[in-house]
Amino acid sequence: MDSRGHSNGGELEAKQMDIRRLSSSRSNTQCIHKVGVPPKQNFFKEFKTRLKETFFADDPLRTFKDQSKSRKLVLGIQAIFPIFEWGRNYNLTKFRGDIVAGLTIASLCIPQDIGYAKLANLTPQYGLYSSFVPPLVYALMGSSRDIAIGPVAVVSLLLGTLLQKEIDYHTHPEEYLRLAFTATFFAGITQATLGILRLGFLIDFLSHAAIVGFMGGAAITIALQQLKGFLGIQKFTKKTDIISVMRSVFEAAHHGWNWQTIVIGVSFLSFLLFAKYIGKKNKNLFWVPAIAPLISVILSTFFVYITHADQKGVAIVKHIEKGINPLSVKQIYFTGDNLLKGFRTGTVAGMIALTEAIAIGRTFPTMKDYQLDGNKEMVALGTMNVIGSMTSCYVATGSFSRSAVNYMSGCQTAVSNIVMSCVVFLTLEFMTPLFKYTPNAILAVIIISAVINLIDIQAAILLWKIDKFDFVACLGAFFGVIFASVEIGLLIAVSISFAKILLQVTRPRVSVLGKIPRTTVYRNTQQYPEATRVSGILIVRVDSAIYFSNSNYIRERILRCLADEEEQTKKAYSPKTQFLIVEMSPVTDIDTSGIHALEELYKNLRKRDIQLVLANPGPVVIDKLHASDVANLIGEDHIFLTVAEAVSSCSPKLVEEA
């Protein structure tokens, strides 16, 4: 209904159209520099530009331009399989770096994999499977040189919690496993689709602050879950919130804790933390914390084997299936109710897995100075998980901790992932029986020492210092994960992030400007207290695009600035405000609601005998001002290039009238 009030404007417009043309062609003596009107763009051209900027901001086809057809084919294959690009320059020196790095991350990943599989409520071999096939696929299709592919703690926990809500893994292990493959399949599809549709930027909506809080909360939740293995508790809650877990722990205190397990746990945790400390102190000894987990596994397994501690209540791994990944295509649910469940779980797990991989993709290339195409990476990760889901793997992604070790061990290319994959292959084929006597406590300890890194207190402090709102988002995600569940934490984090965007769009700043002495520069009087107001003229700056969501607020806010100003002038017996200059530099866009707000502001001011003056409207704004004929309503001679010119044009008129 709002529209009726404005349709008159439309009629008016048609009449004034001719006048406008006249007025804009006549030479303007007052205005020294005219506000530029950009050349009228074709609608489809404009639309195309906009579309390109949204989805192809990185101009991925840049290299294809002006190339022959056969060259384009080669470039296309190289774009999908970067290994054909960097493979041609591969040499022995690089291989030496890769083999050391590959062996190091393999020693780190094998014990982690076994533990992480438990977080996802799967038997240990699935963790190892997921470190065999996905790294190979990634090596073919990915372009990051430093990423280490495999299962990670947070995704394993998330997948475990989400799947457990659908199917109980105790009573229906078969269906649970099938659902896990289904979820992995759809996680891959989600990732690849985001990449292909060039929607990678959606990942950005999970803000840094939210991720810090979420990861910290997930780390604590994961560590708490390890208390089961660490304390040797038999009956343990399936919930992940801190209250349920602590209750579970204390209820088991009287009879459920196993002191032998605790002794093993405490001693090896001390060992791992000490190794970590050494690695931190001396960057050259980075390999100490990297191989410490494997050493712990070997030592503790040997210890349990010779002392027969397993007969005294120390829980052990018992059995890991021998042999490489069996096919699992037929186990994926492609129909029925479970399809939907798997899809839902997979989408969430896939998105979270992406955030971790993308963070890695942003950190390491900067250090080595190469560029990554986020959308292409997503396609690689997605394909990897789709193939993984068909070969008994669950969701794999880039692990931040292992990638850091990979980087520090001197990896050169994705070949380090292939090396790691080969080691995992050998382990699966020949060494699984050796893990029989590995105590569960050692896996718990390895996970605890791994996830501690995810708690980033420094980052949280920085958030508090820089942006309080970000800090609140971080805390919300953190406590949401700890006290409710992983999904709730995620939901809180996303909601707060969105609320922040909406708040920005709904309540932009409107500031009063003053002249900085001895310049022609006009700046915010709050930031520059020395800036002086020009009497009789109020200058305000609108700090946002004017859209339907804020147009009314901006109009009212400007009028409130005026009311404040008039109150002050009344007290000081200064001359009445006669001009209101709106500095439009930050107004990058305006929509129909914004145009109406401006029109209403103009009418409102005219009733009070105040002239509205615009300074420096941008290309889009000036175009729309003309299209809607508001430029004509305000008057072409009241639109200036700069505030200084507007003031110098208004001031003489002021004297006349005063």
Q: How many CB atoms lie within 10 A of CB 373?
A: 17
Cβ nearer to its own copies, comparing 270 with 519:
519
3-state SS assignment for residue 251: helix
- Least distance (Å) between residue 494 CB and its own copies: 11
113, 146, 470, 636: residue in contact with its own copies (rule CB under 8 A): 470
For its own copies (CB under 8 A), the number of binding residues is 113
Using CB under 8 A as the binding rule, the residues of this chain from 320 to 359 that contact its own copies are: 355-356, 359
Q: Helices 173-196 and 374-389: crossing angle, nearest 10°? A: 160
Between the alpha carbon of residue 402 and those of residues 293, 378, 398, the distances in Å are 12, 19, 8
8-state DSSP, 481? I
Please report the beta strands in 66-189, taking only residues with DSSP state E, as ranges in sequence order: 149-150
- Contact between 66 and its own copies (CB under 8 A)? no
Using the contact rule CB under 8 A, the part of the chain among 18-26, 280-288, 382-390, 596-604 near its own copies is: 596-604
586, 637, 648, 651: residue in contact with its own copies (rule CB under 8 A): 586
Helix ranges (H only) for 329-456 are: 336-368, 374-389, 400-408, 415-426, 440-451
Please give the span between the terminal C-alpha atoms of the chain, in angstroms, as a whole number.
Answer: 42
3-state SS assignment for residue 639: strand
The dihedral through the CA atoms of 173, 174, 176, 177 has a sign that is positive
Rounded-to-integer distance, Cα 165 and Cα 107, Å: 33
628, 633, 638, 639: residue in contact with its own copies (rule CB under 8 A): 628
- Contact between 478 and its own copies (CB under 8 A)? no
- Contact between 581 and its own copies (CB under 8 A)? no
251, 310, 467, 487: residue in contact with its own copies (rule CB under 8 A): 467
- Least distance (Å) between residue 481 CB and its own copies: 15
Using CB under 8 A as the binding rule, the residues of this chain from 257 to 316 that contact its own copies are: none
User: What mask, x for binding its own copies by CB under 8 A, covers residues 5 to 44?
Assistant: xxx-xxx-x-------------------x--xxx----x-
Using CB under 8 A as the binding rule, the residues of this chain from 202 to 231 that contact its own copies are: 204-209, 211-212, 215
- Contact between 458 and its own copies (CB under 8 A)? yes
Using the contact rule CB under 8 A, the part of the chain among 88-96, 220-228, 229-237, 448-456 near its own copies is: 448-456
Using CB under 8 A as the binding rule, the residues of this chain from 372 to 431 that contact its own copies are: 400, 404
- Contact between 627 and its own copies (CB under 8 A)? yes
DSSP string of 300-350?
A: HHHHHHHHTGGGGT--B------SSPPP-GGGS--SHHHHHHHHHHHHHHH
Rounded-to-integer distance, Cα 152 and Cα 399, Å: 6
Total residues belonging to the chain: 658
140, 262, 516, 561: residue in contact with its own copies (rule CB under 8 A): 516
Tokens of 642: 């700069």
Cβ nearer to its own copies, comparing 65 with 254:
65
Using CB under 8 A as the binding rule, the residues of this chain from 84 to 123 that contact its own copies are: none
- Least distance (Å) between residue 619 CB and its own copies: 4
Cβ nearer to its own copies, comparing 110 with 153:
153
Cβ nearer to its own copies, comparing 363 with 495:
363
Using CB under 8 A as the binding rule, the residues of this chain from 532 to 551 that contact its own copies are: 543-545, 547-551
307, 560, 568, 570: residue in contact with its own copies (rule CB under 8 A): 560
Using the contact rule CB under 8 A, the part of the chain among 93-101, 156-164, 330-338, 495-503 near its own copies is: 495-503
Using the contact rule CB under 8 A, the part of the chain among 169-177, 337-345, 441-449, 500-508 near its own copies is: 500-508
- Least distance (Å) between residue 505 CB and its own copies: 5
- Contact between 433 and its own copies (CB under 8 A)? no
Distance of CA 30 to the CA centre of its chain: 50
Cβ nearer to its own copies, comparing 274 with 370:
370
Cβ nearer to its own copies, comparing 393 with 473:
473
Cβ nearer to its own copies, comparing 519 with 568:
519
Using the contact rule CB under 8 A, the part of the chain among 22-30, 157-165, 319-327, 595-603 near its own copies is: 595-603
193, 495, 604, 648: residue in contact with its own copies (rule CB under 8 A): 604
**DSSP run (H or E) holding 21:** helix 4-25
Rounded-to-integer distance, Cα 159 and Cα 341, Å: 12
Let me know: does 105 contact 402? Beta carbons within 8 Å. yes
Let me know: does 512 contact 540? Beta carbons within 8 Å. yes
The dihedral through the CA atoms of 124, 127, 133, 139 has a sign that is negative
Cβ nearer to its own copies, comparing 501 with 658:
501
Rounded-to-integer distance, Cα 168 and Cα 175, Å: 9
Cβ nearer to its own copies, comparing 437 with 522:
522
- Least distance (Å) between residue 530 CB and its own copies: 8
Cβ nearer to its own copies, comparing 386 with 587:
587
507, 574, 575, 653: residue in contact with its own copies (rule CB under 8 A): 507
8-state DSSP, 532? B
77, 266, 426, 461: residue in contact with its own copies (rule CB under 8 A): 461
Measuring CA to CA, which residue among 149, 109, 117, 145 is closest to residue 398? Answer: 149
C-alpha triplet 85, 91, 94: angle, nearest 5°: 95
- Least distance (Å) between residue 375 CB and its own copies: 12
Please report the beta strands in 519-586, taking only residues with DSSP state E, as ranges in sequence order: 522-524, 537-542, 579-583
Let me know: does 252 contact 231? Beta carbons within 8 Å. yes
Using the contact rule CB under 8 A, the part of the chain among 55-63, 229-237, 294-302, 408-416 near its own copies is: 55-63
Cβ nearer to its own copies, comparing 166 with 583:
583
- Least distance (Å) between residue 522 CB and its own copies: 10
The dihedral through the CA atoms of 558, 563, 568, 573 has a sign that is positive
Let me know: does 489 contact 221? Beta carbons within 8 Å. no
Distance of CA 68 to the CA centre of its chain: 38
Paired residues of 614 in beta bridges? 582, 639
Rounded-to-integer distance, Cα 510 and Cα 533, Å: 16
